A = this chain, B = another copy of it.
Amino acid sequence: MNHVKITGYGTALPKNTVTFDDQTRYRVVSGETQISLAVEACEAALKQGSWSIADIDCIVSASAVSVQPIPCTAALIHEQIARGTDIPAVDINTTCTSFVTALDTFSFLIEARRYTRVLIVSSEVGSLGLNPNQKESFELFSDGAAAIILERSENPEQGIICGMQRTWSEGAHQTEIRGGLTAYPPSNYKEETKEEYMFDMKGREILSLVIKKLPKMMADFYTESGLSAEMINKVVPHQASRAMPLLMKKIGFSEEQYVNSIKEYGNMVSASIPFILCKALAANEIKEKDVILFIGTAAGLTTNILAMRI
């Protein structure tokens, strides 16, 4: 067990909303950026925990898409909230589950006392890359950000019970933005190629691969962690799509056990999981001693499962 606790959390949403039938989506307008959302979430987390930036000794950006090819996103966030300090800034990325990977990975560094108090932030403006011709994804995504402050706990019962990640690259091209970097450089952008630079999601294929793989991974996770479904107080799933409830049922969770905010917020890419976590902490729906299961499927195709006693 890695003994960690959350001692600060905050979120940020764009001001503008759009609706598709009964579904609300948040979308940035001029002046709002991936960085401005990240900064707002970080500042909210610092304020909620009554911390100043000097109390933080590592800034981790855990987003799917970066702000610039160079430098890393954490350095650009650092510029806004930590300029003049020498706090290390690192990006970690497993697409939609980047936050869970950051929580998992950096809990080892906190457990080993390399870092004392780590700020983890996920921020996404997926709406900028949507393809209006792909109705499913065009109507699914919201922009937003969420940040937490993670530090060592002296309580022997508190922290990360088990983390697990699996990548099945037969699904590597089921969720993509192909263009913008070295595979399809921006210099090739033209009217005929513009869809290469937009989000491309093959929902049915993803679902079919996940249904094939997830039940075994869930069973292996229970074996490795010593946990069972009844021991979990709340499941915080990535809000991947409207098919999420189907997947939850498939791995044995009832509607009461998991958070479903697809209708209210849609899929915020890497920010979905921490956003829901922060909202639930603020509403006291997740509280100390609860065992939380984070679970999410990401482009890659990657799945992360992580259990934490809050």
Binding site for B on A (CB under 8 A): 2, 33-35, 59, 64-72, 74-76, 78-79, 82-84, 86-95, 101, 105, 108-109, 111-112, 114, 125, 128-129, 163, 165-170, 172, 175-187, 189, 194, 197, 199, 213, 217, 298-302
Give the residues in chain B near A67, CB-CB below 8 Å: 181-183
Closest B residue, CB atoms, query A84 = B170
**Chain A's interface: helix, strand, loop or mixed, by majority?**
mixed
Contact of A112 among B34, B92, B94, B108 (CB under 8 A): B108
Give Cα A8–Cα B177 distance, bound, in whole angstroms.
Answer: 33
Contact of A169 among B89, B175, B187, B199 (CB under 8 A): B89
Q: Distance in Å from the Cβ of A210 to the closest Cβ of chain B?
A: 13
Q: Distance in Å from the Cβ of A118 to the closest Cβ of chain B?
A: 12
Give the residues in chain B near A114, CB-CB below 8 Å: 108, 163
Q: Distance in Å from the Cβ of A303 to the closest Cβ of chain B?
A: 9
Contact of A86 among B83, B108, B167, B184 (CB under 8 A): B167
> Do the beta carbons of B92 and A90 come within 8 Å of each other?
yes
Closest B residue, CB atoms, query A83 = B169
Contact of A66 among B2, B34, B181 (CB under 8 A): B181
Give the residues in chain B near A167, CB-CB below 8 Å: 59, 74-75, 78, 82, 86-89
Contact of A93 among B84, B93, B184, B298 (CB under 8 A): B93
Give the residues in chain B near A187, CB-CB below 8 Å: 189, 194, 197
Give the residues in chain B near A128, CB-CB below 8 Å: 182, 185
> Do the beta carbons of B170 and A83 come within 8 Å of each other?
yes
Q: Distance in Å from the Cβ of A201 to the closest Cβ of chain B?
A: 9
Give the residues in chain B near A84, CB-CB below 8 Å: 170
> Do the beta carbons of B68 and A169 come within 8 Å of each other?
no
> Do the beta carbons of A65 and B199 come within 8 Å of each other?
no
> Do the beta carbons of A89 and B83 come within 8 Å of each other?
no
Contact of A180 among B86, B109, B170, B186 (CB under 8 A): B186
Closest B residue, CB atoms, query A109 = B108
> Do the beta carbons of A91 and B94 come within 8 Å of each other?
yes
Give the residues in chain B near A169, CB-CB below 8 Å: 75-76, 78-79, 82-83, 89
> Do the beta carbons of A69 and B66 come within 8 Å of each other?
yes
Known: A66-B69, A70-B299, A75-B299. 18 other contacts (CB 8 A): A33-B182, A34-B183, A35-B183, A64-B69, A66-B93, A68-B183, A72-B95, A82-B169, A83-B169, A89-B94, A91-B92, A91-B93, A105-B109, A179-B186, A180-B181, A186-B186, A186-B189, A187-B194
Give the residues in chain B near A70, CB-CB below 8 Å: 64-65, 95, 175-177, 199, 299
> Do the beta carbons of B300 and A165 come within 8 Å of each other?
no
Give Cα A273–Cα B105 distance, bound, in whole angstroms.
Answer: 23
Interface centre among A35, A166, A183 (most CB of B within 10 A): A183
> Do the beta carbons of A181 and B91 come within 8 Å of each other?
no
Q: Distance in Å from the Cβ of A181 to the closest Cβ of chain B?
A: 5
> Do the beta carbons of B71 and A299 come within 8 Å of each other?
yes
Give Cα A197–Cα B187 distance, bound, in whole angstroms.
Answer: 8
